[in-house]
Amino acid sequence: MKHFPIFMAVEGRAIVVSGGGEAALAKLRLLMKTEARITVFAPNPAPEILQWAAEGRLTITARDFAAGDAKGAVLFYAANEDDAEDARVAALAEADGALVNIVDNLGDSQFITPAIVDRDPVTVAIGTEGAAPVLARAIKADLEERLPSSLGLLSRIGKAFRAKVEKLPMGRKRRDFWADYYFKSGPAALEAHGETGVRPALDALLDHHANAETRIGHVDLVGAGPGDPELLTLKARKLLDAADVVIYDRLVSPEILELARREAVMIDVGKEGFGRSTTQDDINALMIEHAREGAQIVRLKSGDPTVFGRLDEEIDALDEAGVSWRIAPGITAASAAVAGIGQSLTKRNRNSSVRFITGHDTKGYAEHDWRALAREGEVAAIYMGKKTARFIQGRLLMHGANPDTPVTVIENASRPAQRTLATTLAELPGALAEDDMSGPALTFYGLAPRAALARLETDATPTAPRQQKEAL
């Protein structure tokens, strides 16, 4: 992020514009929506600017901008549509202490003006740092369709009512009141009785929430998916947005965590195989403690919470404590990873079943039915298999697995940094050592990426397995 978004206080403050043509007009149409004092410097201002000056909406000075003209101004726009003149006035305004924007010159500007959706006092600003103005306009158009014009009126009425709402305690009780007003009671009152019916509805709503019993806490056990925020389910997104507390695992991506409310308490309870770990008892205690305080909790797990997430232990603890819960499943890491190599987990005449196994469990290296896995055509998705690769290789070879069986390791499945290592069972530990994968990875035994599989089927030379070991 090269431009940090803020909302500048401009009420009663000076904003200066140099220029009187089309570029200045475009900026002034936006600036006149504010309560700033606007001054325009232009020898030959457009008729619209002269009309606005006559209406008292701005002040016009019919000459070129000069040193000292931006003294005390909070913002300055160079909009002369002439590079040399814009550079001259920008330097003078900066010397006067104003923040400077040069229209259509991102590199020399100190700030940029975003695309704006105006539902005063609700304002949505959209910026792309100059990279894609057409995208900003498309997002603006989409938001304008989604946000009703009545939102501004409801917001202004609500703003005037805020002092009375302070009788409600901070936190969930107050948030529940405002959510009820903006999404249920307020729009209903406005539609049924017009503006005059909104204030009585607010008074009745406040009495209702003030006298309502404190809501009992609740836990949602939510699958965060493999990491790509676009693969997060709609239900998971809504639950994150409503959560007071988010208790999350190490493998949950930062992009997913960014979707939680800024006010939410974020608690990292990450576990790492053969490394640092928060005990399961401590995680259970945290959920119960916050639920008893009335919090809405999201227990956020990478992938799907029903796959190697110790879900049953957490549910048992919540049941014993009398805390309500529900499960919001997520897309599994295996589904995302196998999609990334263009394969399916099962295939006619290859394998009619697939095994989901873990490289280690609470007791250490995990044992499985290695003899069954070693059969020709078997497929397994191996979680936490990176550090146990040599153990897994040894067990499979010991039970008769073909050393040339394809093995694919996928790091950061579904994320921009996704990488794929295609190798064989015989070379798995060495390939991992050479590649030095550091991110979360999932291992597929019996599957090769579709492109590598095609080459394997046409290349029967003795060195083929080593040739297929590659970071795709």
Model confidence at 218: pLDDT above 90: yes
Q: Which residues participate in catalysis according to the annotation? A: 249, 271
Structure confidence at residue 2 as a pLDDT band (50, 70, 90): confident
pLDDT at residue 271, as a whole number: 65
Asked if 424 and 458 touch (Cβ cutoff 8 Å), the reply is no
Please work out, in degrees rounded to the nearest 5, the angle formed at the alpha carbon of residue 332 by the alpha carbons of 391 and 290.
100
The correct answer on CATH 3.40.50.720 for the domain covering 14-113 is yes
What 61-70 contacts at long range (C-beta under 8 Å, 24+ apart), as own/partner pairs, is 64/18, 64/89, 65/16, 65/18, 65/41, 65/89, 65/92, 65/93, 66/41, 66/92, 67/92, 67/95, 67/96, 68/96, 69/16, 69/39, 69/41, 69/93, 69/96, 70/16, 70/96, 70/97, 70/98
Q: What are the pLDDT digits (tens) for 144-190? A: 888 888 888 888 888 888 888 888 877 777 888 888 888 888 888 88
pLDDT at residue 133, as a whole number: 77
Model confidence at 373: pLDDT above 60: yes
Percentage of the chain exceeding pLDDT 70:
94
Structure confidence at residue 18 as a pLDDT band (50, 70, 90): very high
Residues 398-424: what's their mean pLDDT? 93
Rounded to the nearest integer, the mean pLDDT of the chain is: 88
pLDDT at residue 161, as a whole number: 87
- Superfamily of structural domain 335-471: Tetrapyrrole methylase, C-terminal domain (3.30.950.10)
Q: What are the pLDDT digits (tens) for 49-83? A: 999 999 999 999 999 999 999 999 999 999 999 99
Model confidence at 453: pLDDT above 70: no
pLDDT at residue 276, as a whole number: 59
pLDDT at residue 464, as a whole number: 40
Residues 85-90: what's their mean pLDDT? 96
Residue given tokens 């160079």 in the structure block = 78
Asked if 117 and 147 touch (Cβ cutoff 8 Å), the reply is yes
Q: Which helix or strand (DSSP H or E) is residue 137 part of? A: helix 133-146
Per the DSSP assignment, residues forming a β-bridge with 290 are: none
Which spans in 322-449 are helix H?
333-340, 370-373, 389-398, 428-435
455, two tokens: 């080459």
Residues 444-456: what's their mean pLDDT? 77
Worst-scoring range by mean pLDDT, 120-134, 278-292, 421-435? 120-134
Percentage of the chain exceeding pLDDT 90:
57
Residues 370-379: what's their mean pLDDT? 94
Please, what CATH class does the domain formed by 218-331 belong to?
alpha beta
Distance CA(409)–CA(421), nearest Å, equals 5
- Dihedral of CA atoms 85, 88, 89, 95 in degrees, nearest 10, equals 170
pLDDT at residue 454, as a whole number: 53
Model confidence at 371: pLDDT above 80: yes
Residues 196-215: what's their mean pLDDT? 85
| Choice between 459 and 32, residue whose per-residue pLDDT is larger | 32
Model confidence at 462: pLDDT above 50: no
Residues 446-452: what's their mean pLDDT? 85
pLDDT at residue 458, as a whole number: 53
Residues 268-284: what's their mean pLDDT? 78
Model confidence at 132: pLDDT above 90: no
Query: Which of 1, 2, 79, 4 is CA-nearest to residue 39?
Result: 79
| Choice between 351 and 84, residue whose per-residue pLDDT is larger | 84
pLDDT at residue 134, as a whole number: 84
49, two tokens: 């600017």
Residues 287-305: what's their mean pLDDT? 92
Q: Omega of the bond prior to 121 within 30 degrees of 0, cis?
A: yes
pLDDT at residue 470, as a whole number: 39
Q: What are the pLDDT digits (tens) for 302-345? A: 999 999 889 999 999 999 999 999 999 999 999 999 999 999 99
Query: Which of 193, 200, 213, 226 is CA-nearest to residue 415?
Result: 226
